[in-house]
Structure 1
Amino acid sequence: MEANLIILAGGASTRMNASLNSSASNWKNKALIGIDSDGRPILDYLITNAEKAGYKNLIIVTGENAIEFKSFYGKQQNDNLFGTLKISYATQYVPKDRVKPLGTADALLQALQQYSYLKKTTFIVCNADNLYSVEAFEALIQTPFKNAFIAYDRKGLNFSTDRISKFALVQLDQDQFLSNIIEKPEPNEISKCRDTSGSLRVSMNIFKLDGSAIISYLENCPMNPERNEKELPSAILNMCHEIPKAMKGILFHEHVPDLTSKEDIAVLKHYLDTAQNKKNS
């Protein structure tokens, strides 16, 4: 496949900036907040992992003001160089009747509208605030399935019990294809979510998608009634309900560092320091 990667970074970073007590004029996209002693952001590490995995084309979906991103990754709208990667930007415009962006399904839809070649090929799409491994990126390049996602073993995620309990669980059929996503499973529903190995699986929002297959589901994605946004997992699940065995689950057991609040900055720094120490030993 062509190694295309779309990183969704157009969110308002509301929770992060609130935890940092930032004033509205000083709000910063959390993907660009420095997390190490050199001030490198999580997005830098994420892009580096994608480059190591063999990706060549990267589109960063930003809000309407992309100045911060362009100061890091190049001022051209298209084909800025980052090592062997070409970085371009797509803009997630906010509807006139809203203050915040319309959600991740809308972000991806706007990227496909601005780069129409994506409607005819496969690509990987992920969040900007999760640090996915080189191995996860490689697995999605190498899979023969046009639509796939990393199905993480919940036991491998090194988060607090309270935080993990809030993650949606995915249900896979006996062939490891996605059949359902349960947002807030009741205790009696949890056992139904175990896969054939007995593990509970979660999605950390890293997907391989076929543009021609997903486009109509992005266009017709329903609004989440609680968050008032159009969410990419909803569009994917609607596709899976209409097309049997549409989305293959790739089983992984590893941690995925996440940047949600200011407490996560120190956790991420420790994670990176530990990984560097292991590499040097």
Structure 2
Amino acid sequence: MPFRVTLPLTFGQRLAASERAQVGMWVCSGSTTAAEICAGSGVDWLLIDGEHAPLSLASIQEQLRAVAAYPVTPVVRVPANDRVLIKQYLDLGAQNLLVPMVDTPEQAAEAVRAARYPPAGVRGVGSALARGARWNRVEDYLGRANNEHVSLTVQIESATAVANAEVIAATDGVDAVFIGPSDLAASMGLIGQQTHPEVVAAVGRAIEAARRAGTKVGINAFDPAVAHGYLDQGVDFILVGADVALLARQSEALAARFIDERAGRAAGQERASY
């Protein structure tokens, strides 16, 4: 008799059950070791980024395997709102998807359809061939996947998306919305100014719109003071760091402490060539 697999709760289910904000971090390096280290850190969730990081389908699958042993919820960001990519990501075992650059309710509805089997959607059927259904070892995966085993979060990261935030968040099948302040600032002509008052105000409008729709809402914020501010506003989930950013900043701190300080230079001043 084949072994039967029980899949973990989805990100949407964990958000619905949690009494506090879910705190997470990005995994962008492509390293399974880094992913496993982050998975055991105590954060609630990880975002494995297939949009801006050089990750292949195979490397994402290996990272999902690496973190599966830990009590952390992995969410995978697809590169684009594309039904072929979404099908592949779901089949390789990503239960929880984040779809970037969703500006309209029509685009949100298309993401939902891509993530669901017919008749509710257009996801191709390949469960016997794929890790998503654990090669048909998940009981009635085809019948239960749409409502039980897949969670969809869409990303609001433009001025247009903020204007449409309430109807995007209210789209049937969207479990949560995630606000991206960096691209939002860029779309407003304020690139690199995520804390500009106009950007902060737009973020606030998006948060309130999601609340009116009754949909969970999250955001990215690496600055601790900004992150605490959003948590105080009551966001349901947040990203507060990234594996590559932690490595970059901490390696810089080591260089500053053991080279610059001992040489009497200000941190960041040009060093001798090695």
TM-score, normalisation: structure 2: 0.25
Between structure 1 and structure 2, the one with the greater Rg is 2
Larger % of strand: which?
Answer: 1
TM-score, normalisation: structure 1: 0.25
